[in-house]
Structure 1
Amino acid sequence: MLQNNPELKSKIDQLWNKFWSGGISNPLTAIEQITYLLFMKRLDELDLKRQADAEWTEEAYTSKFDGMWVPPEFRTKLQGNETAVELMDIRAQDERQYGLPKQSLRWSEFKRMKAEDMLQHVQGKVFPFLKDLNGAESNFTHHMKNAVFIIPKPSLLVEAVKTIDEIFAVMEHDSQEKGQAFQDIQGDVYEFLLSEIATAGKNGQFRTPRHIIKLLADLVQPQLGHKIADPACGSGGFLLGAYQYIVTDLAKKAGTTDIKPDEDGFVRTSVAAALTEQAQAILSASLWGYDIDSTMVRLGLMNLMMHGIDEPNIDYKDTLSKSYTQEAEYDIIMANPPFTGSIDKGDINENLQLATTKSELLFVENIYRLLKKGGTAGVIVPQGVLFGSGKAFKDLRKILVERCDLKAVITLPSGVFKPYAGVSTAILLFTKVWGPKDKVTQPATDNVWFYETAADGYSLDDKRSKQEGHGDLQDIIQKYHARNPEVDTDRTAKYFMVPRSEIEAEGYDLSLSRYKEDVFEEIHYDAPGVILDRLIQAEVGEADLANVQGGIVRELLALKEMLG
């Protein structure tokens, strides 16, 4: 992770300081502008790499920078009754009159310009080209419509471009020298940039650590062909985690054996080039994300596109509102929905049955509703959801136990989300068995597996420094997939299984402490007389006890005499 690369962290700090001193002090505004530049840089690099891969494999690939680009405002409006020949002629005329060579819009081209020319070129040409990248009808273009490039000074743009080039050089060096996947390092950089959003006062917006995302992916094990969603996706971290898990799984099935575990013990490859065109198309169409912040939607779209997903399905939607009517749509849901805040009661989706406005409860019920029967969810919740005494809390837990197969409750240490929040959290893993309108003839859960995570491989303070080893992460994955109600019976261990009947008897309480048995170790102490002799000897050393006249030693001797 980034904490272990002081050079990279220093470069990113420099970038932040340049934007701050350049007049862009709002963290959310700064991250958006920096992301646009990262996107320009990565788009150029990915395109060049794909061209090189295509030449090596002799597969067809059309560069995004081939040909001419005509700004939307100069495109001739067609009537719909032109012949193919007329249409070609009109487009050719538009290109001759208004077109720009796409090659001139590459990062590697415009970074050589003089400061004034660069700012004018990026602001007036490169950025509009990016907004129009996937065509007028694309989801990306729709959400980029109101995006603006507001870097105000030529000097700031030049310094930012130079620093981003230096950041990418360090990432490339780390990729080659330390064996860490380039996209993982890039993800760490992006997550570090996004972490600054926490200071912008955005309610409930904080990033899920990448190793926790990987943990959830290894637990739910998404597969190619699954329809995967995150109903509160933010910058798209869980969707990216599912994508990378599937790509790695396909690579291993294809015979790849040289993938090394990362520093957290997870086996991942970011090389999507090994995917067939059909598999890539299936995978790209499998990932769906929604968020209620238009800026986060844009960041999420660019995040996934920077990782090789050309047309991400991320949209602006409030998935708890009446306007969102999807139900039983998804095979896999991975999410860390907002922990805080209440929803306007009048706008809550009428299909949600819990009598509450608490977002953390409504999101879990909504995730249950969005799963297909047989679909599985991995959801991070505040631990209060596990034991809250209110009716809505109990009703939600009853849904999870009776209408779902609640597979596991994995508690996480309170420092996992520092420096954003110190709240204690847990992972819920459940599979939908009964729909909301089905009559439950038999509760779906037989046993619930509990695991008490003590460490995640990082310090639990605000610094979150990497510690030796992987903490409990790999043990969680191994023990979860090997769980057995006949074996996992030791309630004094860090993991064990609890039958549904016991959970029902406890009012559907899902807190691990309710079922864990504490072990009290018997400690043997020396007899009081022995302890007193030791204290007296420490005070007088080699002195003759008969010659000691007073002080603490006399008191100790008197106490010993009283003991007999």
Structure 2
Amino acid sequence: MITGELKTQIDGIWNTFWTGGISNTITIVEQLTYLIFIKDLDETETRNERKALRGFKYTPLFAVYKGEKDEVNQQNFRWKNLKEMDVNARHNIFSNTVDGVFPFIRSLGKDQSLFSTYMKGATFGISKPSVLDQVMEKLERIDMTNQDTKGDIYEYLLSKLEGGGTAGQFRTPRHIIKLMVELMQPSLEDTICDPSAGTAGFLVAAKEYIDKHNEMTELDKKSEHINKTMFNGTEFDATMLRIASMNLYLHGIEEPNIVDVDAVSKDNTVSNAYTLMLANPPFKGTIDKESISAGLKNVTDTSKTELLFLALMLRQLKKGGRAAVIVPDGVLFNNSNAHKSIRKEIIENNKLEAVISMPNGVFNPYTPVSTAIIIFTKTGSGGTDNVWFYDMLADGKSLDVKRNLLVDEDLFMDFAFGNSLENADEELKRSVHNKFNLPQILDHYRYYKSDYFKKMHGKNGELLQVNDVPENLAFNHFMGETLTHDYSDRTSQSFIVPFNEIKENDWDLSINRYKEIFYEEVKYDEPKVILQRINEMDEKRVELKKLLLSKI
């Protein structure tokens, strides 16, 4: 969420557009996005130039070549050079429709690629040189080295779009995206999709995870797959299509496959295509029943998008494919036939792995809706035995509209932007747990899914008495409390529930259905004892009053 100085800076840029005669919200969002993209291109080129000194090979983004009429120097399109130019000369380069900045960025994608298709609509819309000058000057003051800054800016800009809230266009908090990606551990073999791509936050996070966990030689071997087929999504908002394409391009994906289609409509015919799906579908949307893909209605007869997207994921996943998706709590317990049918499909006919309940406020200030993350695998033949439930009570930020950090900023950023607290010791993780549950969630789930779990725990999750060396029990892989936790204890945040119990409860997945609340017994004295104590206090009060009066 954008707050403080960054919010003030973006508001200042917004006001510059307004006072400069640009009042259309969509125009401001798009023009600002293009400028951020151009700035990032130059920063990417600068990083590559530095790496080239250590032997890194790359194709320069900005070249110098002979045009039809004269020499074209694309070095003039670099942010560092643009910002040094005369105000009018700079504006001429931006507004040049033949060999200026915008023809350049439209040419970046491969011919006929989707990126190139969406960028064809990119046009320069700032008519006054002074406005461009002021906006660039103010953008230059914003530190964008933190990977989330651009996402925060997009989130804030989206909040200004008319109807943005009702369309569900809220960027998922980066640390929640990071948690979901870390839980699913995407690999170079995966084909990944987000059917409600938005700004492509999930896909970008998956790319960052893959880059971090693989050697450069392995990435090179899979470069064709990474650039053309690994990252997929659907989105029907033209602005989001461009933003998502630019976001993925800047993260090294040359031809992102973001398709312009309403994901749950008849126009989307993709099936059995992906091995991993990560998504936060719109919560409140509905779609005309006549336009819904027939196959989805067979699974859940509804027009509610949150249910249709789950049916879509089951259709689009390959057998053995996995999904992590955010759903509103109503999906977990609502008694309508449509809600129960999709839950039954996931639990009985496929394999539900986990339900992670998130606290109210995770999506503040935009919506107070309670949400959960569900994780499942497509099998087509059942397989759910136990379901792991986790009651997330704290995500590291306050749950009010301010969403202030409650833990050390470096600690939080380590989790959200890079190393998942790999450098933090167990004592530190335990000390922040009451304010920041995400490290424990990640540790518990990975342990639950590992082969070690059955060594230490029975079929109901109870702790067994095991005589073995710590290394064989994974004490060097997981936190000690993770291995010694009693997963049958339903008064805890982390426990498992068997398939049969969920079936008996009509496929209810609400954590409150299964979690036990422990009430500590409070004993009170008998009334006559309490009355005697009151009388003694009253007598003492009278004595003290007499003493004070005697001294007047």
- The counterpart of 1:231, out of the listed 195, 201, 213, is 195
Deviates more, 1:152-161 or 1:192-201: 192-201
Distance in 1 (CA, whole Å) between partners of 2:528 and 2:396 is 46
Quote the offset at 1:244 in angstroms.
1.2
- Compared with structure 1, are the counterparts of its residues 159 and 321 closer, same or farther at alpha carbon in structure 2 (3 Å cutoff)? same
- Compared with structure 1, are the counterparts of its residues 274 and 465 closer, same or farther at alpha carbon in structure 2 (3 Å cutoff)? farther
- Compared with structure 1, are the counterparts of its residues 414 and 29 closer, same or farther at alpha carbon in structure 2 (3 Å cutoff)? farther
- The counterpart of 2:72, out of the listed 93, 100, 104, is 100
Quote the offset at 1:546 in angstroms.
12
1:160 counterpart = 2:158: no
Superposition map of 1:411-490 within 5 A: 411-434=357-380, 440=381, 443-468=382-407, 469=432, 471-483=436-448, 485-487=460-462, 488-490=487-489
SS in 1 for 2:234: strand
Distance in 2 (CA, whole Å) between partners of 1:103 and 1:388 is 58
For 1:138, the equivalent position in structure 2 comes to 113
Distance in 2 (CA, whole Å) between partners of 1:242 and 1:325 is 24
SS in 1 for 2:69: helix
Quote the offset at 1:155 in angstroms.
1.5
For 1:112, the equivalent position in structure 2 comes to 84
> What is the aligned-residue identity percentage?
43
For 2:60, the equivalent position in structure 1 comes to 63
Quote the offset at 1:360 in angstroms.
0.6
Q: Is the 8 A contact 1:446 1:499 kept in 2?
A: yes
Q: Could you report, residue by residue, the CA deviation over 1:325-362 in whole angstroms, capped at 9, with x for unpaired residues?
A: 11111010000001112111111111111211111100
For 2:471, the equivalent position in structure 1 comes to none
SS in 1 for 2:516: coil
1:248 counterpart = 2:208: no
- Compared with structure 1, are the counterparts of its residues 280 and 135 closer, same or farther at alpha carbon in structure 2 (3 Å cutoff)? closer
For 2:122, the equivalent position in structure 1 comes to 147
Q: Could you report, residue by residue, the CA deviation over 1:108-164 in whole angstroms, capped at 9, with x for unpaired residues?
A: 222222223322221221112212222442211211222332123222110111111
TM-score under structure 1 length normalisation: 0.80
Q: Is the 8 A contact 2:64 2:71 kept in 1?
A: no
Distance in 2 (CA, whole Å) between partners of 1:10 and 1:358 is 37
1:38 counterpart = 2:10: no
Quote the offset at 1:515 in angstroms.
1.3
Distance in 1 (CA, whole Å) between partners of 2:532 and 2:28 is 69
Quote the offset at 1:414 in angstroms.
1.4
Distance in 2 (CA, whole Å) between partners of 1:499 and 1:418 is 33
Q: Could you report, residue by residue, the CA deviation over 1:252-278 in whole angstroms, capped at 9, with x for unpaired residues?
A: xx5xxxxxxxxxxxxxxxxxx787433
For 1:74, the equivalent position in structure 2 comes to none
Q: Could you report, residue by residue, the CA deviation over 1:290-331 in whole angstroms, capped at 9, with x for unpaired residues?
A: 111111111111112223323222121112111211111101
Partner letter of residue 87 of structure 2? A
- The counterpart of 1:22, out of the listed 20, 23, 29, is 20
For 1:334, the equivalent position in structure 2 comes to 278
SS in 1 for 2:210: helix
Partner letter of residue 145 of structure 1? K
SS in 2 for 1:341: coil
Partner letter of residue 284 of structure 1? N
Partner letter of residue 117 of structure 1? A
Q: Could you report, residue by residue, the CA deviation over 1:192-251 in whole angstroms, capped at 9, with x for unpaired residues?
A: 44454477555111110000000101111111120000011000001011111111222x
- The counterpart of 1:358, out of the listed 304, 309, 317, is 304
For 1:218, the equivalent position in structure 2 comes to 182
Partner letter of residue 442 of structure 2? I
Distance in 1 (CA, whole Å) between partners of 2:539 and 2:402 is 48
Structure 1: where are the runs of 5+ without partners? 69-91, 173-181, 255-272, 435-439, 549-564
Quote the offset at 1:448 in angstroms.
0.9
Quote the offset at 1:431 in angstroms.
0.3
Distance in 2 (CA, whole Å) between partners of 1:311 and 1:200 is 28
Q: Could you report, residue by residue, the CA deviation over 1:509-561 in whole angstroms, capped at 9, with x for unpaired residues?
A: 1111111122121012233344345545666654249999xxxxxxxxxxxxx
For 2:550, the equivalent position in structure 1 comes to none
TM-score under structure 2 length normalisation: 0.81
Q: Is the 8 A contact 2:235 2:262 kept in 1?
A: yes
Distance in 2 (CA, whole Å) between partners of 1:216 and 1:47 is 30
Q: Is the 8 A contact 1:198 1:205 kept in 2?
A: no
Quote the offset at 1:11 in angstroms.
2.7
Q: Is the 8 A contact 1:377 1:430 kept in 2?
A: yes
Partner letter of residue 511 of structure 1? S
For 1:183, the equivalent position in structure 2 comes to 147
Quote the offset at 1:28 in angstroms.
3.6
- Compared with structure 1, are the counterparts of its residues 541 and 152 closer, same or farther at alpha carbon in structure 2 (3 Å cutoff)? farther
Quote the offset at 1:462 in angstroms.
1.0
Q: Could you report, residue by residue, the CA deviation over 1:56-82 in whole angstroms, capped at 9, with x for unpaired residues?
A: 21x4433121133xxxxxxxxxxxxxx
Q: Could you report, residue by residue, the CA deviation over 1:341-385 in whole angstroms, capped at 9, with x for unpaired residues?
A: 211111111111121111110000101111111100000000100
Q: Could you report, residue by residue, the CA deviation over 1:416-439 in whole angstroms, capped at 9, with x for unpaired residues?
A: 0111111000111000001xxxxx
Superposition map of 1:264-303 within 5 A: 276-285=219-228, 286-303=230-247
Distance in 1 (CA, whole Å) between partners of 2:131 and 2:538 is 71
Distance in 1 (CA, whole Å) between partners of 2:62 and 2:268 is 37
- Compared with structure 1, are the counterparts of its residues 128 and 190 closer, same or farther at alpha carbon in structure 2 (3 Å cutoff)? same
SS in 1 for 2:259: strand
SS in 1 for 2:283: coil
Q: Is the 8 A contact 1:197 1:206 kept in 2?
A: no
SS in 1 for 2:239: helix
- Compared with structure 1, are the counterparts of its residues 543 and 122 closer, same or farther at alpha carbon in structure 2 (3 Å cutoff)? same
- Compared with structure 1, are the counterparts of its residues 456 and 43 closer, same or farther at alpha carbon in structure 2 (3 Å cutoff)? same
- Compared with structure 1, are the counterparts of its residues 13 and 371 closer, same or farther at alpha carbon in structure 2 (3 Å cutoff)? same
Quote the offset at 1:166 in angstroms.
1.4
Distance in 2 (CA, whole Å) between partners of 1:198 and 1:139 is 27
Distance in 2 (CA, whole Å) between partners of 1:200 and 1:421 is 11
Q: Is the 8 A contact 1:28 1:200 kept in 2?
A: no
Partner letter of residue 32 of structure 1? E
- Compared with structure 1, are the counterparts of its residues 471 and 116 closer, same or farther at alpha carbon in structure 2 (3 Å cutoff)? same
SS in 2 for 1:20: helix
Distance in 1 (CA, whole Å) between partners of 2:162 and 2:371 is 18
Distance in 2 (CA, whole Å) between partners of 1:337 and 1:399 is 19
Q: Is the 8 A contact 1:225 1:283 kept in 2?
A: no
Quote the offset at 1:474 in angstroms.
0.8
For 1:502, the equivalent position in structure 2 comes to 501
- Compared with structure 1, are the counterparts of its residues 281 and 53 closer, same or farther at alpha carbon in structure 2 (3 Å cutoff)? farther
Structure with higher Rg: it is 1
Distance in 1 (CA, whole Å) between partners of 2:74 and 2:167 is 40
For 2:268, the equivalent position in structure 1 comes to 324
Q: Could you report, residue by residue, the CA deviation over 1:469-527 in whole angstroms, capped at 9, with x for unpaired residues?
A: 46111111111122254331112111211111111111111111111122121012233
Q: Is the 8 A contact 2:166 2:284 kept in 1?
A: no
Distance in 2 (CA, whole Å) between partners of 1:17 and 1:545 is 68
Distance in 2 (CA, whole Å) between partners of 1:324 and 1:162 is 43
For 1:11, the equivalent position in structure 2 comes to 9
SS in 1 for 2:61: coil
SS in 1 for 2:241: helix
SS in 1 for 2:225: helix
SS in 1 for 2:321: strand
Distance in 2 (CA, whole Å) between partners of 1:362 and 1:413 is 24
For 1:553, the equivalent position in structure 2 comes to none
Partner letter of residue 254 of structure 2? D
